[in-house]
Structure 1
Amino acid sequence: MSDDETIRLQELGKIKAKYTHEPDTTDVDDYDPHEHRNIPHPTTNTETLIHILKGSLGTGILAMPEAFKNAGIVNGFIFTILIGALCTYGLHILVQAQYVLCKRMRVPLLTYPDSMKAALLSGPRMFHAFANASPILVDVFLVIYQLGICCVYVIFVAANLKELIDVYLPEKLAIELYTLFLLIPFILILSIPNLKWLAPFSLFSNVITFGCFGIVLYYIFKDLPSIDERPYVGTFYTFPLFFGTTLFALEAVGVVIALENNMQSPKSFGGSFGVLNVAMFFITFLYVGMGFLGYWRYGEGTKASVTLNFPPEDVLAKIVQGLYSLAIFISYGLQGYVPVDILWNTYLAHRFSDSKYPKLWEYLLRAVTVFVTFVLAISIPLLGLFISLFGAFCLSALGIAFPAIMEICVKWPNDLGAGNWILIKDIALIIIGVCGLLAGSYSCISEIVIKLSKGET
């Protein structure tokens, strides 16, 4: 056995040791990872569906009319459906690759970073050199993305709170003050320790969200102009902004993987009518509808959140802004769960294992996480561009390129299909992911620099 092969097997052994200490007594074909999971607070199918809906029905859906402004009304309609299908497919191949790796290694589950490492060690020899660095890279993308979502949520709630209250004040307050007022409430919502306990909050938030959608549609359908006034196709320069916003809105890879790993019956997650497909069908349908109708109504005047287009003096507008802000505030607990879980369980928990008060350190991490998102939110309060940047930069890799790389590695070298069609398909997905990352990030950063230089917020 060569030195490279010995090192490869040792690294796979280290991954396996993190998840199980059981002897290898079961045949690979007979081992089912789902039957060996031992989750302290597992979520039911319904709770998982509620969480996925809540994880995706955040600020992104209210940003879809502006996304359509960057794509054109017909382009936006078509490509939102395509991006929704692409996101769903990327999640499917990621979950399937993780299942195959768990089965081979006889472990009940793997996190996204460790499954990426295991996949690279199982794939072509040229990928082995990147295996050790891959978990850190995945964690960095996941943490940046989830913190980005939390930043956007802070900006959204503060902006809507300002819209609600400023009309009653003799002198308008700076948005930074509204942000500061929200610091303690956000720390409290992120202090809820597990997904099981978060489920009732997500259900309540979903009820509020769907109620708000009814009010939003009421405003949209008032005085609809002729649809011929809207361009069918946007410009080439602004299309990456549409791609980033839509990807941010539709993709919730960090939350979805955490949810699948915490399911009571994970076999129900995939499949034609599984939890993932059902959730993504409704999410894509709602996003297409909100983007199409919102842009049809407000056109080039569409703002970063469609609620900001509503007449500020209307009581009904204030109600929807207040309720949706409450729903987003609750969602912060779900989105913030992922970076805290990664940072604590992967990098920090073992450092405080001998401490008398390990929970105190964990809650300190939660508070610091909130503080970091608030500092970033105050620094760059450009909601629409913030959404596009994090979508393009992180999700192009996490939701499209990385799952394709994992599938190549898991199926290498003998299961790549007739004519290696799986390899060709996955290379195409990697190219789409890389192009989306580069083009989307460039467009967003350029726009942020331009707007900040003009003093816009």
Structure 2
Amino acid sequence: MTNNETIMLQKFGKIEAKYEPNATDVDDYDPHEYRNISHPITNTETLIHIFKGSLGIGILAMPDAFRNAGIVSGFIFTILIGTLCTYGLHILVQAQYILCKRKRVPLLTYPDSMKAALLSGPRIFHAFANASSILVDTFLVMYQLGICCGYVIFVAASFKRLIDTYLSEDLSIVLYALFLLIPFILILSVPNLKWLAPFSLFSNVITFVCFGIVLYYIFNDLPSISERSYVGAFYTFPLYFGTTFFALEAIGVVIVLESNMKTPKSFGGSFGVLNVSMFCIILLNVGIGFLGYWRYGDETHSSVILNFPLEDTLAKIVQGLYSLAIFISYGLQGYVPVDILWNTYLAHRFSDSKYPKLWEYLLRAVTVFVTFALAISMPRLGIFISLFGAFALSALGIVFPAIMEICVKWPNDLGAGNWILIKDIALIAVGICSLLFGIYSCALEMNIGFSSIQFHSIQYYLFMLQK
């Protein structure tokens, strides 16, 4: 059996991801050398995609996040949270690599890695191994679909706000969403990450142009920094954490990108693709958040571009361009659930079909219809996405990687004084705290209206459109 056949059988559930504890020849096997990807992506393309996957609607809410945390606290904690998210990804990728060496396979998906890790860890975890792979897939699919729903609302609401100023009749946001249905289907029909790279590059160019316009408005008449709160109120910190985790974490996209790299060894390392991209992403989020709050203070809106006067041509340009960038990002965010659903659960069912590609593109179209239906039919969708997003991000980005590291290093490789075990237990506690912060944020939004959490910018758009 070839290595490629092994990967496909694992994806289709034909091979159990079970750790073989008696394997003694793992050191001479390098999984990276045996990967066989149909359309591998280069380091540059991976970097472009990570930028596009992480620089979405969340970064526009960072000034409001700093308003909730305070300008000094926001600066410090954003760096710490970004470092934590990056470290969680490193733990996950390293654990996957160790498991691939042990099983002598080129590639294991996140769900298969989770299952294999639990089977190799303490006996108490073995009973949860089979369910864990389904749980990971569910979290990834639901969260990515939630992001897509948010993007649909953001783009439709933005275009409505721009175009309605030139129309005598106020059209429904549902009509704007329906006008965008075919374009969204087309962007999600780009079949692989290799072909998506030019779109992501173009979207990144637009995004950085928008950041330049944002900075132009911010630096226009900066007040004294002493007028800003250095530390926010304790009860608003959960709102800050919810926004910041959402803005910085893109685990679903990052893991898929690493598994499709032409040179996966370049992903990790001190100056690898992950560290370089996350350093830039953290820097941008800190910069936009710090400067945006410095400029607008307590008047900061949930999306900083809402602070710009809409009658200004430049403000209209930045709103339109950023909406275009988010539209293109839909293709990358939607790629993750389609890849999971098709390769793991559906492709083998249509392997004998004359037109398997037709079924795959039908799945892509159905995915778009589902996100549109949810976005249109549930006006308070943002609350539920925020709640599930907080759960999924804390689990996928922090808790699960920490559990995997404990399992793959169990019982004799946990370091002096079991410091790795202690460190990972601390990470699990942090992940649980982030979940509690997310629940608290959603409770606040349900009680007091439009709070600053993960999709608050979308909710604010809808609020403004209903006025």
1:235-254 counterparts in 2 under 5 A? 235-254=233-252
Residue 241 of structure 1, CA deviation: 1.9
Between 171-180 and 119-128, the greater mean CA deviation after superposition: 171-180
| 1:27-38 equivalences in 2 (<5 Å) | 27-38=25-36
Contact 1:243-1:388 at 8 Å conserved across structures? no
Which one is further off, 126-135 or 216-225?
216-225
Cα deviation, residue 212, structure 1: 1.0
Contact 1:404 1:429 in 2 (8 A): yes
Q: CA deviation at 1:206?
A: 0.8
CA contact (8 A) 2:242 2:437 kept: no
1:233-284 C-alpha deviation (Å, 9 max, x unpaired): 2233321221121111111111111111000000000000000000000000
Shift of 1:298: 1.9
Q: Work out the CA distance in 1 between the residues paired with 2:13 and 2:352.
A: 23
217-226 vs 111-120, greater mean Cα deviation: 217-226
- 1:411-434, Cα deviation, whole Å (9 max, x unpaired): 000010111010000000001101
2:422 equivalent among 421, 424, 428: 424
Encode CA deviations 1:350-392: one digit per residue, 9 max, x unaligned: 2222323222221121111112212222245569867754542
For residues 16-415 of structure 1, what are the structure 2 equivalents within 5 Å?
Answer: 17=15, 27-381=25-379, 388-389=386-387, 391-415=389-413
Query: Contact 1:245–1:392 (CA<8 Å) still a contact in 2?
Result: no
CA separation of 1:206/1:390 partners in 2, compared to 1, >3 Å: closer, same or farther?
farther
Conserved in 2, the CA contact under 8 Å of 1:304 and 1:384? no
The residue matched to 1:133 in structure 2 has which SS?
Answer: helix
C-alpha distance 334-447 of structure 1, shift in aligned 2 (>3 A): same
Cα distance in 2 between the residues matched to 1:167 and 1:252: 35
The aligned amino acid for 1:415 is: D
SS in 2 for 1:17: coil
Return the letter of the residue paired with 1:79. Answer: F
Inter-CA distance 301–211: structure 2 relative to 1 (3 Å threshold): same
2: CA distance, partners of 1:318 / 1:159? 13
Look up the match of 1:438: 436
Q: Is this contact kept in 2: 1:15–1:118, CA < 8 A?
A: no
Q: Is the 2:251–2:397 Cα contact (8 Å) retained in structure 1?
A: yes
Question: What's the CA shift for 1:306?
Answer: 1.2
Conservation of the 8 A alpha-carbon contact between 2:210 and 2:318: yes
**Using the alignment, how far apart are the partners of 2:172 and 2:158 within structure 1?**
13
Q: TM-score, normalised by structure 1?
A: 0.91
In 2, Cα distance between equivalents of 1:149 and 1:432: 23
* Conserved 8 A contact 1:152-1:377: yes
**Which has the higher mean CA deviation after the structures are superposed, 160-169 or 278-287?**
160-169
Q: Which moved more, 1:265-274 or 1:71-80?
A: 71-80
Q: 1: CA distance between counterparts of 2:71 and 2:54? A: 22
Letter in 1 for 2:188: L
Tell me the amino acid that sits aligned with residue 119 of structure 2.
L
TM-score computed with the length of structure 2 as normaliser: 0.89
Q: Contact 1:163 / 1:312 at 8 angstroms: preserved in 2?
A: no
How many equivalent pairs are there? Answer: 441
Letter in 2 for 1:295: Y
Residue identity in the other structure for 1:242: Y
Unpaired stretches in structure 2, ≥5 consecutive residues: 1-9, 451-458
Contact 1:57 1:249 in 2 (8 A): yes
The 1-side partners of 2:298 and 2:221 are apart by 16
- 60-69 vs 261-270, which deviates more? 60-69
Contact 1:69–1:300 (CA under 8 A) maintained in structure 2: yes
Partner of 1:5: none
Hey, what's the Cα distance between the residues in 1 that align with 2:57 and 2:406? 34
Conserved? CA contact 1:87–1:251, under 8 Å: yes
The 8 Å contact of residues 242 and 441 in structure 2, kept in 1 or not, is answered as no
Amino acid at match of 1:294: G
State the identity %: 82
* TM superposition shift of 1:164: 1.4
Amino acid at match of 1:185: P
- Partner Cα separation in structure 2 for residue 185 and residue 243 of structure 1: 34
- 1:143 and 1:130 map into 2 onto residues whose CA distance is 20
The structure-2 alpha-carbon separation of the partners of 1:172 and 1:232, relative to structure 1 and needing over 3 Å to count, comes to farther
Question: Which whole-Å CA distance do the structure 1 matches of 2:185 and 2:246 have between them?
Answer: 24
Find the aligned partners of 1:136 and 1:114 in 2 and give their Cα distance: 9
Indicate if the aligned counterparts of 1:220 and 1:297 stay in contact, CA closer than 8 A. yes
The residue matched to 1:167 in structure 2 has which SS? helix
Q: Identify the residue that residue 3 of structure 1 maps to in structure 2.
A: none
Which AA in structure 2 matches 1:327?
A
Moved more, 271-280 or 358-367: 358-367
In structure 2, relative to structure 1, the CA distance for the partners of 1:102 and 1:174 (3 Å cut) is: same
The C-alpha deviation readout for 1:140-161, integer Å capped at 9, x for no partner, is 1111111121112112212221
User: 1:8 is matched with which residue?
Assistant: none
Hey, what's the Cα distance between the residues in 2 that align with 1:449 and 1:187?
36
Amino acid in the other structure paired with 1:338: V
